[in-house]
Amino acid sequence: MNVLLKYSAILGSMLFANELFAQSPMNSDRATTEAPKKEYVNTDWRPSLVPDGMIDRVENRVNRTLEWHNVREIDIAYKRRLWRRIDIREKQNMPFIFEGDEYTGGGAFVEILIDAVKRGKIRAFQDDRFTAVLSYEDIQSKLMTTEDVEITDAITGETRIERVQNTFNPQNVAMYEVQEDYMFDRNVGRPVSRLRSITANFAVTDPNTGEFRNWSPLFTIYYPEARNVLSQFEVYNPTNDLHRMSWSDYLDRMMYNAYVVKTSYNNPTGERFQNGGVDALMKGQREMESMIQRDMDMWEL
């Protein structure tokens, strides 16, 4: 009799717990609930009115970036500063041209930065010396350029010159220049790389032929100041739509492909590698190899 009562009590407890958890809103299928509200970074983006019902998706936007561990000056054996360029037309740098979808908040990487400046979340600087701050209006004046266009009247055949305003195309921001600090931390016994700044560069083209002329810097952001903002947006994953990391994780790990254009080693005037082309690429590669060799020498007696 006691055994029957014991098993009856256990069975009743299990049924009660099952009913309790089944009614809990924390365990309800999020695919049947309303899609969460998100901030959009451009006026053309429209959020989906329903959640992604195929999977019970956990939003990346609740993630927060981890703070960098403090690096003491006494622990650093040596430090070298690098300037590298990211060409978003390369296959490995495809995430920079991803303009978002109906669930991620919309906007390419440069649009995320511009929107953060507009909302006052981060500051935009004139260059990587961080001596002058740019306002949102200053950035807009660089983006919204005007040009004179010759228009022919279809009826009279007369031609006239009209000034038109060009719309901003995120694809024209095809190159980013990053400033990285490469240092050997004796406390952890390995080299540590930290991203210091990101400069967006706009492609200037000939208004008549459309041919590329040069790169025009738009603004520079101080990356440690922007890490928390960038952690709220997902990076495009070309191989898996589900497993996407945040922009802060992507940049912290330096998963982009870039080439060196300048270093602080034996360069008191701050000159860039001259001649460009293959010669400049080879010089940058030799600089990287010399730093790797120095890291290896740190372990030799």
Q: What is the pLDDT of residues 66-84, one digit of tens each?
A: 788 888 888 888 888 999 9
**Residue whose C-alpha is closest to residue 233's, from 243, 219, 248:** 248
Q: State if pTM tops 0.85.
A: no
Mean pLDDT comparison of 167-176, 234-243, 249-258, 292-301, highest-scoring range: 249-258
Annotated domain spans of the chain: 76-297
Check if the beta carbon of residue 75 is closer than 8 Å to that of residue 140: no
From residue 162, alpha-carbon distances to 149, 151, 202 in Å are: 5, 7, 24
Distance of CA 254 to the CA centre of its chain: 10
Share of the chain above pLDDT 90, in %: 26
Count of Cβ atoms closer than 10 Å to residue 93 Cβ: 19
Confidence of residue 59 (pLDDT cuts 50, 70, 90): low
Tens digits of residue pLDDT in 255-276? 999 988 888 887 787 777 766 6
The tokens for 164 are 């038109």
Tens digits of residue pLDDT in 15-34? 544 544 444 444 444 444 44
Which pLDDT score, from 0 to 100, does residue 36 have?
47
Check if the beta carbon of residue 28 is closer than 8 Å to that of residue 92: no
Alpha helices in 135-270 (DSSP H): 136-143, 223-230, 247-252
